[in-house]
Structure 1
Amino acid sequence: MERLQRIRPKRKVYAVDLFCGAGGLTHGLERAGIDVRLGVDIDPACEYPYTVNNRAKFLLKSVEDLEARDIEKAFRKNGIRLLAGCAPCQTFSTYNQKATPEDGRWWLLLQFSRLVREISPELVTMENVPRLKEQDVFKEFLEALDVAEYYVFHDVVNCEDYGVPQHRQRLVLLASRLGPIRLLSPSEFGAERTTVRDCIAHLPPLEAGEVHEDDPLHQASALSPVNMKRIRASRQGGTWRDWKETLVANCHKKRTGRTYPSVYGRMCWDEPAPTITTQFYGFGNGRFGHPEQNRAISLREGAILQSFPRDYVFVPPGKPIYKKSVGRLIGNAVPVRLAEAIGSSILEHVASCVRRRRRTKAGVRAHA
């Protein structure tokens, strides 16, 4: 299918981004042509990257304490309002096997639902992990949208199909009071599959523990002597099962550890990266070894694999960069390219509604 020709609606779409993090969703929506007015998050570390890289303002506040008026004053009059919300996904992730409804984050989606009910925006979007689809809290969210008379689309999508250079499945929801809505297909969006090589092969080489002088975010974690031996013994797409017995960790020699091969591995140049988690900067935390250099990928490389632009900044100049903090911001972000596909789908939806109304009016005049 050919890429759709973009038609800008006369009424502009204005958005507020709840749980905005470092701005992955906002940046993608802005690239698509949506005017994001405000981002809301409880984490102070999000404010600098969010405001420096995007045009929107930032509000440091828990969504639980957020009131409708906090959001309504951010929207412009006579515009089409979009409320976006990507509640923290750790609670529902397959990596978190101990999560229960007693975790307060479990119910943040219902706070998002509350704000949708109080504000009644024309458009709503949400992105999260696929496992959320199985939970009662998501079913309650869908029921609330149905009661409020929204048309709803939701599906689990492969981010790599939309040009994100990693294997990452996400649940995407779009809802509209204007008419039926859906996510554009990858071909309609104009996506092309990208690989690790496409995205990070051009970056300057690094040693483990080194920080590049021109880009402080292009820094790699140091490796212990045994981990240096391990990464030298690793091949692209391989596992610790390829090593000599003396290099295998004791935990993997046990019966319970033999079924976890997806750690201590190198990425493949000509494949998408594995899912970028909040701990992607550690060689032992997943298959996060550089394809050929003896180190884990750098913070900058992780950001690029999340489809952030090369010049996206996360820490003020001259301030220390803490890998745990920046890794969390990058790993928790909505991939920018997926966000752009969501934004393009929303604008195409609004434009199609405009075209439909024009045809209806023309038909009425023809029969008058």
Structure 2
Amino acid sequence: MHTAIDLFSGFGGLTRAAKDAGLNVLWAGNHWPAAVEWHTKNNPETQHACQDLHQADWSQVPKHDVMLAAPCCQGHTKARGKASGNPQHDNSRSTAWAPVANAEFNRPEFAIIENVPEFMDWILYPAWADAMQRLGYSLAPHIVDCANLGVPQHRVRLFMVCSRSKAPLHLQLQQHQHVPASEIIDFAAGKWSPITKPGRAQSTLTRVKNGRERFGERFVMPYYGSGSGLTGRSLDRPIGTITTLDRWAVVDGDKMRMITADEAMAAQSFPKDTQRPDNHRLTMHMTGNAVPPLAGQRIIEALIAAA
């Protein structure tokens, strides 16, 4: 097992994972030009395709041992769009057929498909699983909290391990010690503002007050919406799920700020030398969409050990 390709390669979490696990990533495909640009900067040796993978010509893709794919998850998540008849989400769910099309043409020995656990609740999941099985793959779903793989973030994801074997390949995943949020928060960084200032939402002030009572002067908390209730989270545990939008705030005494793009990347386990845009919003979007490289690496290493 030496070579891999990465479908929906995005910011390159699975590509970095594969490289760190010792695989040569030959090809990466994505429809979003900005993601392809930065993936290329970080992986210049990989062949890139910027296109809608619904239309990919799989005969142009180099032969490979492992197909890595993280199809769009927005149409499956609880957070975004279970609403029936949302064309955008119907279209995003259909991205899951691209790995099937590549599997039919190139027949890699293994595939790892990453998504949210709700992928398996998709009305077409039985048809998707049947298609993969008809192509000779056994399917082993692994639902994993990436924090248990050493990522400093609670992020529950599905890693579907597909193997051309008679029996499904259930990986032996070692439980790693949780890495606390304190490891990734830099209190000397970012743009701080006073907690008490005109226009600050009452719900924010309530969360700060409750957080102080539980955790003292320093903690993280969701700035928008729900998550971690009405308090916040101790810096002694992993941060909550990093999303594509600014969500987590850091509190230090009487001031607060949103987490920085560098902190979000660290929470996702991207190495410090990863090149990224200067644009905060673009970096947050690509980072929040990514597969944590360390989680992917540990899954791939377990696959290599089991194969």
Superposed counterparts of 1:1-368, under 5 Å: 12-54=1-43, 55-71=45-61, 74-75=62-63, 81-100=65-84, 102=87, 103-178=90-165, 180=167, 181-187=169-175, 191-201=176-186, 204-208=188-192, 225-227=198-200, 234-235=207-208, 238=211, 260=226, 262=228, 266-279=232-245, 281=246, 285=247, 288-292=248-252, 294-315=256-277, 321-350=278-307
Letter in 2 for 1:182: H
2:7–2:28 Cα contact (<8 Å) kept: yes
Q: Which runs of 5+ in 1 are unaligned?
A: 1-11, 210-222, 240-251, 316-320, 351-368
2:141–2:161 Cα contact (<8 Å) kept: yes
- Higher-helix-fraction structure: 1
Count, aligned residues:
288
- Could you say which residue in structure 2 is the equivalent of 1:363? none
Distance 1:340 1:225, change over 3 A: farther
Name the CA distance, whole Å, in 1 between partners of 2:14 and 2:37: 16
Distance 1:226 1:92, change over 3 A: same
- Could you say which residue in structure 1 is the equivalent of 2:219? none
2:59–2:105 Cα contact (<8 Å) kept: no
The percentage of aligned residue pairs carrying the same residue is 24
Per-residue deviation, 1:262: 4.9
What secondary structure sits across from 1:153 in the alignment?
strand
Name the CA distance, whole Å, in 2 between partners of 1:87 and 1:154: 15
Letter in 2 for 1:119: N
Per-residue deviation, 1:163: 0.8
1:149–1:177 Cα contact (<8 Å) kept: yes
1:267–1:289 Cα contact (<8 Å) kept: no
The CA RMSD measured in Å over matched residues stands at: 2.9
- Computing the radius of gyration from Cα coordinates, the structure with the larger value is 1
- Higher-strand-fraction structure: 2
Per-residue deviation, 1:230: 7.4
Letter in 1 for 2:263: E
